[in-house]
Amino acid sequence: MEKDNPRISVRRQCELLSVARSSVSYKPVPESAEDVRAKRALDELHMTDPCLGSRRLATLLAREYGIAFKRNRVQRLCREMGIEAIYCRPRTSVPDAGHRKYPYLLRNMRVDCPNQAWCADITYVRMPVGHAYLCAVMDWHSRKVLGWALSNTMDTGLCLRAFEQARSSTGKLPDIFNTDQGCQFTSEAWTGRLTELGIRISMDGRGRWMDNVFIERLWRSVKYEEIYLHEHATIPAVEAGLSRWFNRYNTWRPHQALGNRTPHEVYREAGSPAPWDPGQLRHDAA
């Protein structure tokens, strides 16, 4: 758009580009400090009890944080953050072919070696001003974080970057890849990429967070031990903090469920090669 073009008026340029005339002078309104504060509180409440719906969240916001928001405003903020209460609900619609839902393949399955099953999920990352989204890919057997990506948008590209990082860092592919039924993971771009590589796709049951319990537990740890504790002001600062935390999580911190070994030790001892230095786990950002 050239506002000072001597031959073509702004109105005519808008017609040629099929753009509304009013959008030329539009200036985006920054997110209010009130909404930012409410999102921080909603994130804490959701991590404390993921079963809370919008009514209870609105009540707790007013009672514990002094934020008197109506329920519809709380619902809007939750949609923007990508958080949803966990509860069983009837299936009221059938997705189209482009958003096929896959069955859960890990129920009663014994996962006893690395790369037998990977899982991924997205979580909201709060900052003093604005927010970001974090996607991580984890090996189900060893609990090792194989790749992750950070972005200020929650789209399929974020998930694909985390997956490609895990693939390039390990040189391996899983037999099964499990996710929830979020639109990023049911998109044709995601399912098509996994199918192209010969990976079997598994998805949690609707509202069943326990189907992906290991990565849900990871989110609790990374938020309380890194994100809430330091509250980095910029995305590069968040990336640097997460890089240190994931390296410590993978290579230094023992897990009781793993016999007090680290995820990296279990991943390596189970016969999977480690062709890269875990301390150099790279990250992507949009």
Q: Return the domain boundaries, the chain.
A: 1-30, 33-81, 102-285
pLDDT tier for residue 210 given thresholds of 50, 70 and 90: low
> Strand order of the sheet with strand 145-151?
200-203, 176-179, 117-126, 131-139, 145-151, 284-285
| Cβ atoms within 10 Å of 213's Cβ, excluding its own | 12
Q: What pLDDT is recorded for position 22?
A: 81
| Cβ contact 168:109 at 8 Å | no
Average pLDDT, stretch 132-143?
A: 94
pLDDT surpasses 80 at 58: yes
| Cβ contact 14:3 at 8 Å | no
CATH superfamily of 102-285: Ribonuclease H-like superfamily/Ribonuclease H (3.30.420.10)
| Cβ contact 195:171 at 8 Å | no
Comparing 216 with 73, which gets the higher pLDDT? Answer: 73
Question: Widest CA span of the chain, in angstroms?
Answer: 75
| Cβ contact 135:162 at 8 Å | yes
| Whole-angstrom distance, CA of residue 172 vs CA of residue 152 | 28
Single out the residue of 70, 78, 36 nearest to residue 53, CA to CA: 78
Whose structure tokens read 């109105």? Answer: 11
Run of H or E including 135? strand 131-139
Task: Of 25-29, 69-73, 115-119, 236-240, give the lowest mean pLDDT range.
Answer: 25-29
| Cβ contact 118:141 at 8 Å | no
Average pLDDT, stretch 125-144?
A: 90
Q: What pLDDT is recorded for position 96?
A: 42
Distance between the two ends of the chain, CA-based, in angstroms?
25
Q: What is the pTM of this model?
A: 0.67
What is the tens place of the pLDDT at every residue in 147-192?
999 998 888 999 999 999 999 999 999 999 999 888 899 999 999 9
